[in-house]
Every structure is written in structure tokens, then in C-alpha cells.
Amino acid sequence: MSTAPAIVPFDKRDGVIWMNGEIIPWGDARVHVLTHGLHYGSCVFEGERAYKGRIYKSREHTERLIASAKLMDMEFPYSIEVIEAAKAKVVELNGGGDQYVRPVAFRGSEMMAVSAQHNRIHVAIATWSWPSMFDPATKMKGIRLDIAEYRRPDPACAPVHAKAAGLYMICTLSKHRAEKRGYADAMMLDWQGRVAECTGANIFFTKDGQIHTPLADCFLDGITRRSVIDLARKRGMEVVERRIMPEELAGFNECFITGSAAEVTPVAEIGPYRFTPGNISRTLMEDYLVEIGAA
């Protein structure tokens, strides 16, 4: 009887982490249990990928990290240049090649209450080897998506344009539910019942040669999303950003999702709706691999 390989917990791995201006051993990157970011969600982060030792769209990610901190009323303590140099150094020291890159900023433990204006803002950068989220050999078959019960919130109710830890609570719940039901992920609607995104990726559809994608007004306008839109337009494809209702899914031909982790991944099924991964999905998947230097 075969068993799956044991997963090494993230606090037990080898390597180095940049934390508050210093390169330290992986196991020394610790925070106290009474850290504000743990209790109140005052934490922002980025998800990035390095290919052959080079971080794709690194500066854009750093700019978004700092912008997210500002939206969370956090005074970011480092310049873009410092973070850029630190990310590159950690990738190098952790072996280069293909890695996932996780910068994170969070409030410390000086105050343990809702109000925490005087808490220190800690910043850390970790990287680790992480293969493609979905099997490259079977990607063109398309993944299966559930339809999430939870919805993306009204922009009047949350800082929806920050990549903030607290906004991912419903994503975790939705992905857990989807995986228990045999799906790879879940598509989320917005607070008005319109198509929004997946739990950690943006979503696109095709019809009659056009590409349609939801307006990013209550969720992140992903960096990969923008890259893929640019790639499509360079190919002469028309990309329409608009409101999309769930009942429209029956009329679309192809579907694919985009994100730093998902890259470009075709979709074959969303709940009761079926799609046939085709030329547009394949072309953009291949163009993106060339763009990131992984082809």
C-alpha cells in the first residue's frame, strides 16, 4: 500500500527569510501569539513567482504590497528599492531557479486591541520551491470549479483593493468546500450575485472569438490578469471587461483562470456549466509561458 509523501510544515523548512531588514535562518522567523496581525487580520501580502531566479513583475508586486499597506492604514517602513533587493537576495540564497515568493507585512504586538496605531509594522520575505499548481501535462483538459456560497464583499464594506489577509477567510472556506466536493477550486460571485473571481485567481470566458472578464471593482485586478489581457490584445483579440451574470455561463465556449499561482489554467466545468478548452486558452497559456521566461 503506497502512502503520499509527508509534507514538511512551513515552520520546519530549511533556508533563509528576510525579516525587518535582516537575513535570518528560516526557523528564527517567529512572531508572538499576541501579534495584532493574527488576531485582527491587520496583514497584507503578495504571491509572486520566480522563474530561473528572476521574479516576474517583481516591482509591480512590491508597489501593490505597499499600496495594500496604505489601504490598511499601515505606514510601510521600507522603500520599494529595499524590498526589491531583499526579494532578489532571498531567492538567490534559497537556491535560485523556480520559486514562490511571499512578502508579508503585519502589525506587531505592542497593542492588543482593535485600535493599534502605534504597533510596529513588521515585514518579512520568504521563498520556497513550488511547482505548477496544476499538472502541466493535463492542463488543457481543464479543471473543475464549484460555485462558492460566500460572495466577494461590497467595496463599501471592506478594503477590497488591498491584498489583505482577512479578505481571504471566505476564500479558504470556499476552497475547502470545493475540494471536499471533488473540485479543484470555486468561482465566487460578488455581493450582487454577479461573476467575480475564484478563491485566488481571476476568471475569463470566450464567446465568438471575444474574451470576456468581470470588472475588477470589488476584487483585485490581478497582475497576471493584466498581463494576460495585454498578451491577448497583442494577438489582436478583443477583451471586454464587464458585468457578467451567472446565467451567461451557458453561452460561453472557453473558460480559463489566471494568477501568480495558477498562471493560465483552462477550465472545463463550473458547477452545471461545461466548457471546451480550445485555441484561445492554449494560445494565451503558451504566450504566458514565453512572457515569464518559463517556455
CA separation for the pair 161, 96 (Å, rounded) = 31
Residues 150 and 232 in one domain: yes
112 domain residue, yes or no = yes
Place of cell 478594503: 159
CATH number of 219's domain: 3.20.10.10
Range of the domain at 61: 10-128
Residue 67 host element (H or E):
helix 58-71
Q: Are strands 185-190 and 143-152 parallel, antiparallel or unpaired?
A: parallel
Residue 23 lies in a domain: yes
How far apart CA 72 and CA 264 sit, in angstroms, is: 30
pLDDT digits (tens, 9 = 90+) for 275-284: 999 999 999 9
Active-site hit among 163, 175, 180, 207: 163
Using pLDDT thresholds of 50, 70 and 90, give the confidence band for residue 242. very high
State which of 93, 128, 163 marks the end of a domain: 128
Nearest CA-CA partner of 86 in 127, 115, 41 = 127
Longest dimension (CA), the chain: 57
Please confirm, yes or no, whether 163 is among the known catalytic residues.
Answer: yes
* % of the chain residues with pLDDT over 90: 93
**pLDDT band (50, 70, 90) for residue 2:** very low
100-122: pLDDT as tens digits? 999 999 999 999 999 999 999 99
Q: Which of 106, 128, 150 is the C-terminal boundary of a domain? A: 128
**Residue 237 burial (10 A CB sphere; 0-12, 13-18, 19+):** middle
Cell of 270: 463550473
Who has greater pLDDT, 20 or 294?
20
**What phi and psi, each to the nearest 5 degrees, are found at residue 279?**
-65, -40
Last residue of a domain, one of 128, 161, 184: 128
Task: Give dist(CA 201, CA 222) in Å, integer.
Answer: 8
pLDDT greater than 90 at residue 294: no
Cα(124)–Cα(87) distance, rounded to whole angstroms?
10
Q: What are phi and psi of 250, to 5 degrees?
A: -65, -20
Pair (182, 146) in one structural domain: yes
Looking at the structure, do residues 263 and 193 belong to the same domain, yes or no? yes
pTM (2 d.p.): 0.94
Question: For 167-192, how does the pLDDT look when each residue is reduced to its tens digit (9 = 90+)?
Answer: 999 999 999 999 999 999 999 999 99
Residues 66 and 196 in one domain: no
Same domain for 221 and 76: no
